Amino acid sequence: MVNLIPAPLHCENLSGTFSLDDSLKVKSDFDLPLLKLQREESGKLIIKKDTSLSPESYTLDIAQDSIKICANDEAGAYYALQSLRQISRYELGQRTVACCKIKDKPRFKWRGLQLDEARHFFGKEKVKELLDFMFFMKLNVFHWHLTDDQGWRIEIKKYPLLTEIGSTRSSTHINGWGSTEIQHGIHSGFYTQEDIKEIIEYAEKRNITIVPEIDFPAHCAAAIAAYPWLACREIKRGVAYYFGSSIPEKILKIKDWNRTICAGKSKSVEFVFDVIDEVCDLFPSKYFHIGGDEAPKDEWKKCPHCQKVIKDNNLKNEEGLQGYFNNLILEHLKKKGKRLIGWNEILKAHNIDKSVVAQYWTPQKDKNAQKHANSGYDIIMSNHKSFYFDIPYAQYPLKNTYNFKTESYGISSLNAPNILGVEGENWTEWTNCTEKLQMKLHPRMEALAEVAWSDNSLINWKDFKHRLESFKDYYDYFNINYAVDKISQSKNIFHRTRAKKLFFKGDTDYEFKLNKEYRKQGLR
């Protein structure tokens, strides 16, 4: 096996090497604008279109006198080049590559990574860096969490206060879910529609689809701060600076705050449709994520508008009201050629349209999600114990990501085709800078890439660790603050117990600081 992540479907090592130099020329059937090589009919790097291959798949033949790539589409050609880039180690100073033959194709069509910029805003240059590394790892879906209680990060021209007010909070909750500590100081930032277009174009060139997440009906406190009439009761509040649905009342003693918009007011529904229209005009993706999770319904129980909708439509209860509300959005999206994605809690409403794509995140098994997939409907696996990258390695070590098994979550092998794919989640409540994001993301991102791309028969923890050790040279080259083995694969009970305890209340940066010390010691 070559030192390549994700592992290729088939690799045959051959004798000899091909010499690489800056004068290498390419002959290609594809345009490939990202390929910065001179084109020439006599080029030794030959890229051929082969319609017999499936989308995104490729073959890569490295002989002593030439390199030949075959692919059905540009994506497959680019992925072959990413494999060549990695095994040649040209960027790392190597000038020869061992001869071999590789046949490769993806396991899942949805190979996703999410970034939450509502809690902490990183900006477009950092997003582009992330997209570049996703491309390197053959990940092809960027799930962009752009709105939440703590910030609205996308310009909506019809509702300018969403960014004028909703993108800025006065303070930030720190030191864990059980903490009462607040760091005072403005946190702000949003993307203009021109910024969004620029990033979408950047992603498309790298075969990455961007799926926007605009949360409805809950996680809307920032929107309600901008337009209080969105809620059942119009209570003036600033953008939320605290994290978690139970924190304001139970920990910080803040009462009367709204995070769920009114599902009964026609004006609120009109707002949702208006926002969706502008977002859909920007994003060509056929998917639209509405979140739909963690929706408190106490306000709906007391709201005459919500109760009227429940009565008029013969709904069982407030859960049925959310199903009704979600179905309105789903139908609106259908007219635009889009499919609705929601976190698996939306399946609690048994009147929900089954064409919804459920994103299965919960740590515990969810019978509704299992039934959805086993009944022939689409699902994305983002299960907490394997794919929540914001959680300390002490709680979810790297092996959790690598050893993910779809069958562990009650989805039969017969219904495995209903799994669109897998996705890693980067929630940023406690991740306020790039260095911290990188440490939580790497090497989990590489493990995710292998689970998403490589055939299940190739999943081998010992072999992956060997290839990862070689891959760490790329972390150093790109100046990435990765988690060293003593963090990502720790068996130290004291460290693991302390890190988990502090993450809840006390010091969410414990592993980050410890990792820094290990890096100073030269550990990998």
Catalytic residues: 148, 219, 294
Exposed (0-12), middle (13-18) or buried (19+): which is 328, by Cβ within 10 Å? middle
3-class SS string, 6-66: CCCCEEEEEEEEEECCCCCEEEECCCCCCCCCEECCCCCEEEEECCCCCCCCEEEEECCCC
Token pair 């490729």 in the structure block, residue: 58
In sign, the C-alpha dihedral spanning 165, 170, 175, 181 is negative
Nearest to 422 by CA among 142, 156, 163, 112: 112
SS3 147: strand
CB atoms within 10 A of CB 332: 18
Q: Are 260 and 303 in contact (CB under 8 A)?
A: no
Q: What is the C-alpha to C-alpha distance for residues 150 and 152, in angstroms, rounded to an integer?
A: 7
Q: How far apart are the first and last CA of the chain?
A: 22
* DSSP letter assigned to residue 482: P
Strands (E), 284-407: 287-289, 339-343, 357-360, 379-381
SS3 217: coil
Token pair 């055939």 in the structure block, residue: 455
* DSSP letter assigned to residue 484: P
Residue type, 496: R
Q: What is the C-alpha to C-alpha distance for residues 453 and 449, in angstroms, rounded to an integer?
A: 6
Q: What is the C-alpha to C-alpha distance for residues 208 and 403, in angstroms, rounded to an integer?
A: 25
Residues paired with residue 148 on neighbouring β-strands, in sequence order: 151
Strands (E), 189-252: 209-213
SS3 165: coil
Q: Are 401 and 444 in contact (CB under 8 A)?
A: yes
Q: What is the C-alpha to C-alpha distance for residues 106 and 89, in angstroms, rounded to an integer?
A: 22
Q: What is the C-alpha to C-alpha distance for residues 46 and 50, in angstroms, rounded to an integer?
A: 12
SS3 367: helix
Q: What is the C-alpha to C-alpha distance for residues 125 and 128, in angstroms, rounded to an integer?
A: 5
